[in-house]
Amino acid sequence: MTPAARAGDSVAAIDTPALVIDLDAMERNIARMAAFAAAQRLRLRPHAKTHKCAAIAALQLAAGAVGVCVQKLGEAEALAERGVNDIYLTNEIVDRAKLSRLAALASRITLSVAVDSALGIDRLAQALKGSRASVTVFVEIDVGHGRCGVAPAASGALAHQVVSHGMRFGGLQAYQGRAQHLRGDAERSAAIAHAVALVRAAQASITSAGIACPLVTGAGTGSFVHEAASGIYGELQAGSYIFMDRDYADNQPSAGAPLFEQALFVKTQVMSWGTSHVVLDAGHKAHAIDSGLPVVWGRDHAVANGGDEHTVLRRGPSGAELPALGETVWLVPGHCDPTVNLHDHFIGVRGGLDDGRVESVWAIDARGALR
Chain residues in the site for a second copy (CB under 8 A) = 1, 4, 15-18, 49, 71-72, 74, 91-95, 97-98, 116-117, 119-120, 142, 146-149, 177, 269-274, 277, 279, 281-282, 284-286, 288-290, 305-310, 312, 325-326, 337-338, 341-344, 367-371
Nearer residue to a second copy within complex by CB, 273 or 297? 273
Cβ 21 to a second copy, closest distance in Å? Answer: 17
Nearer residue to a second copy within complex by CB, 37 or 219? 219
List phi, psi (to 5°) of 122.
Answer: -60, -45
192 near 230, Cβ under 8 Å?
Answer: yes
Cβ 9 to a second copy, closest distance in Å? Answer: 11
Nearer residue to a second copy within complex by CB, 100 or 230? 100
Q: Which helix (H) or strand (E) holds 55?
A: helix 54-62
Cβ 246 to a second copy, closest distance in Å? Answer: 16
Q: Which helix (H) or strand (E) holds 217?
A: strand 215-218
Cβ 15 to a second copy, closest distance in Å? Answer: 5
List phi, psi (to 5°) of 14.
Answer: -70, 120
Nearer residue to a second copy within complex by CB, 134 or 269? 269
Distance CA(63)–CA(42), nearest Å, equals: 14
Cβ 267 to a second copy, closest distance in Å? Answer: 11
∠ CA 69-71-73, nearest 5°, is 100
Nearer residue to a second copy within complex by CB, 1 or 255? 1
Angstrom CA distances, 15 to 111, 234, 269, 306, stand at 38, 43, 9, 20
Nearer residue to a second copy within complex by CB, 218 or 306? 306
Distance CA(26)–CA(305), nearest Å, equals: 28
Reference 32, options 176, 175, 298, 236; nearest CA is 236
Residue 293 CA, chain-centre distance (Å), reads 19
Q: Which letter does DSSP use for residue 47 in this model?
A: B
Nearer residue to a second copy within complex by CB, 26 or 342? 342
290 near 305, Cβ under 8 Å?
Answer: no
In three-state form (DSSP H/G/I as H, E/B as E, the rest C), the secondary structure along 76-90 is: HHHHHHCCCCEEEEC
Cβ 46 to a second copy, closest distance in Å? Answer: 16
Cβ 121 to a second copy, closest distance in Å? Answer: 12
